[in-house]
Amino acid sequence: MATDKKIIMPLGERQKLARDFGVSLPTVRSALNGITCSELAEQIRAEALRRGGEVYLKVVPSSRRNRPDSE
């Protein structure tokens, strides 16, 4: 199941994670964007945070249709 959280990494760290875990860059990207939830993805996320990654939450703007009319 996908999550609304993602981990942002310092420049070049995604490539280093891919190399260190022996996986492709898309695998790291999927893990850091919360698309995959495997044990490997959890390990990649934990290491990313240890290396200075920061968790960001996806913000979904309110739909104008859900606001009451002010007229």
How far apart (Å, rounded) are the C-alpha atoms in residues 47 and 14? 11
The pLDDT value given to residue 68: 59
Structural domain boundaries, residue 12: 5-60
User: Does 66 fall in a domain?
Assistant: no
Question: What is the domain count for the chain?
Answer: 1
Three-class DSSP category at 71: coil
The whole-number pLDDT of residue 62 equals 62
Domain membership of residue 48 (yes or no) is: yes
Using DSSP, state whether 47 is helix, strand or coil: helix
Q: Is residue 68 part of a domain?
A: no
According to the model, what pLDDT value does residue 70 have? Answer: 52
Q: Does 37 fall in a domain?
A: yes
54 domain-assigned: yes
Predicted pLDDT of residue 54: 96
pLDDT digits 0-9 by tens, 3-13: 689 999 988 99
Residue ranges of the chain with per-residue pLDDT less than 50? none
Residue 20 belongs to a domain: yes
Query: What predicted TM-score, i.e. pTM, was given to this entire model?
Result: 0.77
Q: How confident is the model at residue 11, as a pLDDT?
A: 84
Amino acid 63: pLDDT:
61
Residue 65 lies in a domain: no
Integer Cα distance of 60 and 39 in angstroms? 28
